[in-house]
Every structure is written in structure tokens, then in C-alpha cells.
Amino acid sequence: MKKKIFLILISIILLTACQTQTSDKQSTVDKESAVSLVSKQDSNNPEFKYYHFNAEEAGYRSDRSNVLTPTFYIYAGPKTVDEANALVAEFEMSDVVEEWASNVYVIPPINGSTYSNDDMVAFIDLISQAPVANIKLIGIDEGATFVNNKLAPKYGYLIAGILTINGKVDEGVSLREQVPTYIVNSDEAVNLLYGQDDKKVSDTYQDQSNPLQKVVVSNLENELAKIFEDAWSKILSQNYRMHNDITEFYNANAKEITSGYGLEPVIDFEKLGIIYNQNEEVPLNGEGSYTWYEYVPKTIKDASKGTIPLIITLHGFANDPCLQGDTSGWVEVAAKEDIVIVSPEWQEKELNFAKVDGLGEEGVLELIDYLKETYPQIDTSRIYLTGLSAGGSKTALWAAKHSDVFAAGASVSAPGIDKEELTQLARDYNGNKIPYLYVVGDHDFFQMVPVDGSSPFGMPNVFFDDPNVSMFEFIQAYQRMNDLPVSSKPDLNLNPYFGVALSNQVEGILGDKEILSGSMVDVDNENQELIRLVTIKNLAHWNYRPEAAYIWNFFKQYERDSETGQLLFTQP
């Protein structure tokens, strides 16, 4: 019963991060249809009226995870619904809205004439109704001045991109946080507001430390379609925001947590040289209706047989499998290192995001066989398994159960859901040695670390004493399976997070965060690393993009003899 409650709670929490997708994956909408705004009224603030279009409700869906889906908030002064629709039509933004299944809001002043502080409050109230991800703010004329003077300075921390046209800015206004911005027909004061101290090259201010933070000053005339097309190409399509420092992005209240919404890139597969194959509700070996996503480097066509590694990445509980490709960093690693990445819908139908047939353990193994046949370039000695949260727990179990298939496993932010089965497996283990990496943030609300349950960052009265959370049993199981000394109980004097003695324990930097890592080694085999445990400071329960390259550097140490199953150590 405890485990069931645990899984239900995870489902409730994680599903808040995702908009509801249409159950008919093949449904389409006539491309001639346009954005059609309708009048809305805020139930909590009857004076706040606006115009809204929801592309999903109109039948569109994006082929990417919906944390990337842009939501457009347009401030353009007093407007009727017909005038608002005419304005959106003039932008010619329908193709973008439909492709990404976006929401569009056109928001006139509450008092019917000019924007005021009441409109600032209404904005943050509206934003706070869903997790912050990809907010795009458009201001025109007096709406641009309102954006420049009020919204950008106060709420820039959660805005992923701004388009401002014909606006002004009052003297003394400054930004607390920079925002990628496209500026049209404004004076130098507006340019300097958004460009701040960044280096200006031609028409662009660029933050030298952050390629996503740039400001384009445009000389386009007031042709809204051309302006939007250029702004979308250069600024608005490039990024989204995600907070994962002190809590998970889907739990971050935009009113209470006012920093740490870092800019994240929207990956362009074509530019990276990645083929994105979407296998949605298709049979596998002639049976079922399964979903998986393939990220295949274009270089595979010139690769020799048996030369390309394969990484299977398992999503978190009830997550859209697209999230692993879009937010984990694995696609960038695939492009750089020539790796095939596959994200399957592994959970059973009753639990998974799209309510499709779930592959499960045996299905994932069948999928690997299918992939090897489809891509003979895959190196069967270099197949690896990784996963987030519940997918990380399954990684710990399946990598051990199938040590003849996987050369190594890596769990990210994984609670110990499958530790009982893994512990039983380890007691009578007769498989091969299996290298294992465990990575977790010190702000994870499931409180996996410290392993004694003493984290001050857990979710009060929910997970603190839940026996499914503890992952110390993962460590013990992998110690047994790798013929290493087994820790009887945790001792935080040995390591402040995992409570075990580690070789090469070292503080370091991953991305822009501090980490503490350490290893357990095979002293009988030149101290080869078999287990690595890593804590990332100021990270909550989610993927952290730099982790992917870090995990790959761990995986590169290992291969699996396809005939004997023997673990082979290689030079990284």
C-alpha cells in the first residue's frame, strides 16, 4: 500500500508539468485554419478580461515535449476581440502556434484605457496557473512601453523571450535579470535597458558567457509579419526556462520563487545533424502499439557495422518520453559523439503519459533487438542504460538483470522503488559485473540523500519516512554484484551524502554547479572503477543537461563482450 501511495503521489506531481495531449496521435487539423481568439474572464478577478486561443484544444499537437511549447502574451493596448484577432492575423504567427500547439493571449488594459499596476498583478496571477517554461512576451506601442517599464523589470526572471515594438522606457528603469529580446523601432534607452553591459556586435548585444542571452535591435519597418518571422528565427524560438535549483520546475510557484529560472536551449535536430524518428503507437515485431523516440546521428549512414554505441534512456514516472530527448542533454551528446539515443515509453498503459501500450522490461529488450537489426551500425558491446527518477530506479534493476546486454547503467534522481527486487537479485547473483553510476541533487524532494533521511529539502510529511525513497540498498546491491566490500549501514562521516567510503572522493564543478563525487574500485583489477556516486549541489529532482556528457564519460570506460558477457575495461 505504501508503494502504491508513493507512485500515485509521483503521478499527481509530475502530471502537473504536462499539458494534456490529444489521445489520437494521428489526428490532424486543416492547415488553413487560423488562430481564433475568444473572450475570457478570470474567475478570481472579474475585471480581468482577455482573449485566448489554445491550439491543443483546437486539435493541434507538437511533436516535441510541451515544456518547450511557447505561450505568447501580447500587450497592445485596448482591443476588442475582433481587433485582437486582426492583430494576431497581421503577425502571421499561425504556423508557429499550430506547429508548437501554443497558447496565445491578447491582454487589453483592465481599466479599458491604459496599463497600470493592476495589469502587473493580473499578469503574474495568469502566469502562476501553470509551471513556468516558455513564456514569450510581445509588446506593441503603449503595450511595449508597459512591458519595458513594468513587466520585464519585475518578472524578467520567468520570461524566456520578449518582442517589443515602438515602445519607450522611463528614466531609471533597470532589469533585475536579462531577457533575450528583439527590439523594433525604439530609442537607445530601450536598447540599453535590454542590452545592459553585453558586448554589441552590429545589431546584436551578446552575453559572452551565455549564448542564449542576446538582444537583437531591428531596423525593420512596422510590418508585423516580417517582424515576427525575424524575431522568431533569431530570439523567440531559441530557448525556454526551467527552474530546478531549490525545487522542481513543476512545483515552482512563480510568485514565491523569483530566481533560478535558467535559460535552456530548444534543440534544433537538423542543425545538430540528428535524425529524429518518432515511432508513435506502432507495432513491434508485428504486435502491440508502442511508442519510442530515436535520435540518430546522420553520420550513421557512413559508419561501419558495429561501431555506434546505443543508449536507452528511461523517462520519469508518467512523463512524456520526449522529455528525455528535449531536456536531458543526450541529443547534444549523441551529435558530438556519434551515439544512437532512444527514449521508449516503458511504463504500463495505466500509468504512462499518453495511455499507450507500455514496453515494460521484456519490450525494452525486444526494442533493442529491433534497433540492432534496423541499425547494424550499432555496437552490441556498447549498449548502455540510463533513466530519470522512476526510470532511474528501473535502470538500477534492469541493468543488473540483463548484464549480458548492458555494459553499464546510470540512475539520475532515482528513488529506491525497485530496491527490494534488486536486493533479492544481488543475494544470489550469478551474472556479470555491472558498472553503476548514481547521480542526485542535494535539493531532491524525495530525500534520497543524505541516505539517513536528514535532508532539509524534502516534501514535508510525504516522503520523509517513505521506505520506497531510500536508495542505500542500491549501493549495497551493486557492491555485492561487483564483488566489492558491502557496507552494513550508512556512516555520514565517510561521505556526507551516501554514507560509504569512496575512493577518489573529490569536489568539482559540473556545468555551473558544485558536485561531490567518489568511486568504489576493483582493487584486484588495477583499481578499475565499478561504482560512482555523485551529488550535485543546488539541484532538485530532474535532469540537469551537463549530466549527459558526464554520464557518457563514465560509460566510455566499459564494453561488454557480446559472446561471453564479460565486462571489458577500456581507456576513456
Q: Quick: pLDDT tens for 14-59.
A: 433 333 333 343 334 444 447 999 999 988 888 999 999 999 999 9
Distance of CA 334 to the CA centre of its chain: 16
Mean pLDDT of 347-376: 95
Q: What is the model's pLDDT at position 221?
A: 81
Question: Is 331's pLDDT higher than 70?
Answer: yes
Residue 75, CB half-sphere, CA atoms under 13 Å: how many?
31
Domain covering 34-265: architecture: 3-Layer(aba) Sandwich (3.40)
Q: What is the model's pLDDT at position 465?
A: 59
Query: In the chain, where are the structural domains located?
Result: 34-265, 269-567
Question: Is 5's pLDDT higher than 50?
Answer: no
382 sits in the region (left: phi over 0; alpha: psi -120 to 50; else beta) called: beta
Using pLDDT thresholds of 50, 70 and 90, give the confidence band for residue 151: very high
Using pLDDT thresholds of 50, 70 and 90, give the confidence band for residue 517: very high
Question: Is 501's pLDDT higher than 70?
Answer: yes
Nine cell digits for residue 212 = 542564449
Q: What is the model's pLDDT at position 479?
A: 98
Select the CATH number that applies to the domain covering 269-567 from these four: 3.40.50.1820, 3.30.420.40, 3.40.50.880, 1.10.3430.10. Answer: 3.40.50.1820
The residue among 423, 470, 422, 473 whose CA lies nearest residue 449 is 470
Q: What is the model's pLDDT at position 9?
A: 41
Mean pLDDT of 490-504: 96
- What percent of the chain shows pLDDT beyond 90? 81
User: Cα–Cα distance between 530 and 519 in angstroms, integer?
Assistant: 7
3-class DSSP assignment, residue 321:
coil
Beta bridge mates, 2: none
Q: What is the model's pLDDT at position 460?
A: 53
Using pLDDT thresholds of 50, 70 and 90, give the confidence band for residue 185: very high
Quick: pLDDT tens for 261-307.
999 999 999 999 999 999 999 999 899 999 999 999 999 999 999 99
Sheet holding 378-388, edge to edge: 274-284, 287-297, 340-344, 308-314, 378-388, 408-412, 436-441, 528-536, 513-522, 503-510
Q: What is the model's pLDDT at position 148?
A: 98
Quick: pLDDT tens for 203-236.
899 998 899 999 999 989 879 999 999 999 999 9
Distance of CA 380 to the CA centre of its chain: 28
Question: Is 390's pLDDT higher than 90?
Answer: yes
The residue among 218, 255, 208, 215 whose CA lies nearest residue 235 is 215
Mean pLDDT of 415-433: 94
Q: Check for a shared fold between 34-265 and 269-567.
A: yes
Residue type, 454: S
Using pLDDT thresholds of 50, 70 and 90, give the confidence band for residue 462: low
Question: Is 132's pLDDT higher than 90?
Answer: no
Mean pLDDT of 305-319: 96
CB 62 within 8 A of CB 22: no
**CA-based torsion, 370, 324, 281, 354: positive or negative:** positive
Q: What is the model's pLDDT at position 389?
A: 95
Higher pLDDT, 326 or 44: 326
What is the overall mean pLDDT for the chain?
91
- List of E strands, 431-502: 436-441
- Specify the range with the lowest mean pLDDT, choosing from 82-91, 114-123, 444-453, 536-545: 444-453
Mean pLDDT of 414-435: 95
The residue among 392, 422, 429, 438 whose CA lies nearest residue 530 is 438
